[in-house]
Amino acid sequence: MAGGINSFKDKIMFEIYKENIYSGEYRVVYFSELDDHNKDKEIDRAMKGDHYFDGFIFTLKKERAMKQIQGIVDRLNGGESLNSEHLERQLKEFLAN
């Protein structure tokens, strides 16, 4: 389906992970947004961390979705415990699954 809403160009892949080497903080990486100078470093950093949640967000809703995801990361770093069902509900309008 060329140019359809299911095209990879219409989505941004992301992962929320917990860094386990340096700070122990939760972080988010947007894989589809990485460029050549930071791609390997950011992917390596995420792979060394503990996976928490991942998915695809719609490119058209990128700005709002990224704010929502950053809010989730901030809450996790503040000590809140959020399960994947809660995250899916909170991100429902942005997820392109």
| pLDDT tens track for 14-49 | 999 999 877 899 999 999 888 888 888 888 888 999
User: Would residue 95 count as lying in a domain?
Assistant: no
User: Would residue 67 count as lying in a domain?
Assistant: yes
- pLDDT tens digits for range 46-72: 899 999 999 999 999 999 999 999 999
* pLDDT value, residue 26: 96
Domain count, the chain: 1
Q: Return the HEC string of the chain.
A: CCCCCCCHHHEEEEEEEECCCCCCCEEEEEHHHCCCCCHHHHHHHHHHCEEEEEEEEEHHHHHHHHHHHHHHHHHHHCCCCCCHHHHHHHCCCCECC
Q: Domain range spanning residue 50?
A: 8-90
